[in-house]
């Protein structure tokens, strides 16, 4: 059997989960994408490996189809094939057992999703409130309390502009919470945001702010803001990676 084979999941960016296959022959980089979310099919392939059956798994990278095949023979083979415009090109061919292959993929995947390199909001479906909380390191309660203290004009301005307010800062600090508080101070000022370079109003943003917004209680304001921010969905909608976890696979790996 080939001496070296490892899998390394590297990062997830804008719905692309990038990983490498590392072997004595060559290293091969590819990715899973949230657009063609393959995680359930990936799990089924891993479970077939746990049965030590010939198994084929293909996924769309948004550029080409990649196919992983494990062929059960006297000397079992793992094949990696790229398919583009109907043409097949074999990229990798390794002699490896089902257990070795399964160990490499399964352990690498779960080590990755439990590491700091896995950024859930770059893969899983989420909303603007979740994204803002992760970015600025505030809890939902803290964010809603801060935003609830903005008046009608200020909250309309906050909701109606793109979230790239960092452009307003003279320089970003190493403290995201401090940056967010500075951004709120700018919004509370009399600055005309339309005149500030790099800050563009969302033309499609329509928020039905009550005329008596400033008379609402803090709790009523918090609820309005929560509903408005949660309705803004981030486009990444990959399956939660825990769906890949399999008792069948784990029992096989314990043997």
Domains of the chain: 5-124+242-254 (3.30.2450), 126-234 (no CATH)
pLDDT at residue 83, rounded to an integer: 95
Place of tokens 């909701």: 159
pTM score, whole prediction = 0.62
What strand order describes the sheet that includes 87-95? Answer: 55-60, 65-71, 77-84, 87-95
58, 66 Cβ separation under 8 angstroms:
yes
Pure H helices in the chain: 39-50, 98-113, 128-136, 140-148, 152-160, 176-188, 218-230, 247-254
pLDDT at residue 56, rounded to an integer: 95
Most distant CA atoms of the chain, gap in Å:
78
pLDDT at residue 126, rounded to an integer: 66
- Which pLDDT tens digits describe the chain residue by residue (255 residues)? 456 899 999 999 989 999 999 998 899 999 999 989 999 999 999 999 999 989 999 999 999 999 999 998 877 899 999 999 889 999 999 999 999 999 999 999 999 999 989 988 788 866 777 778 887 888 989 999 999 999 988 887 777 654 556 555 556 667 888 888 887 888 888 766 655 555 544 444 445 678 899 999 999 998 888 887 776 555 677 888 999 999 999 999 998
pLDDT at residue 136, rounded to an integer: 84
HSE of 164, CA atoms in CB hemisphere, 13 A: 9
pLDDT at residue 204, rounded to an integer: 42
Residues 45-84: b if buried by 16+ CB within 10 A, e if exposed = bbbbbbeeeebebebebeeeebbbbbeeeeebebebbbee
pLDDT at residue 239, rounded to an integer: 85
């Amino acid at each position: 059997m080939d001496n070296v084979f490892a899998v390394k999941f590297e990062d997830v960016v804008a719905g692309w989960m990038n990983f490498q296959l590392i072997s004595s022959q060559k290293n091969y980089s590819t990715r899973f994408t949230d657009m063609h979310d393959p995680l359930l099919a990936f799990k089924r392939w891993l479970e077939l490996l746990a049965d030590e059956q010939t198994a084929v798994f293909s996924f769309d990278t948004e550029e080409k189809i990649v196919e992983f095949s494990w062929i059960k023979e006297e000397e079992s083979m793992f094949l990696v094939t790229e398919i583009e415009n109907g043409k097949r090109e074999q990229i990798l061919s390794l002699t490896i057992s089902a257990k070795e292959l399964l160990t490499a993929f399964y352990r690498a995947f779960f080590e990755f999703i439990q590491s700091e390199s896995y950024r859930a909001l770059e893969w899983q479906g989420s909303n603007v409130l979740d994204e803002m909380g992760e970015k600025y390191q505030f809890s939902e309660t803290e964010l809603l309390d801060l935003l609830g203290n903005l008046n009608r004009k200020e909250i309309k301005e906050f909701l109606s502009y793109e979230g790239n307010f960092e452009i307003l800062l003279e320089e970003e600090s190493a403290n995201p919470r401090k940056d967010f508080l500075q951004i709120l101070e700018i919004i509370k000022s009399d600055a005309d945001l339309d005149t500030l370079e790099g800050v563009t109003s969302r033309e499609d943003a329509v928020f039905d702010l009550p005329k008596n917004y400033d008379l609402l209680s803090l709790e009523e304001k918090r609820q309005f803001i929560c509903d408005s921010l949660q309705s803004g969905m981030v486009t990444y909608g990959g399956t939660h990676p825990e769906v890949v976890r399999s008792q069948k696979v784990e029992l096989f790996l314990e043997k």
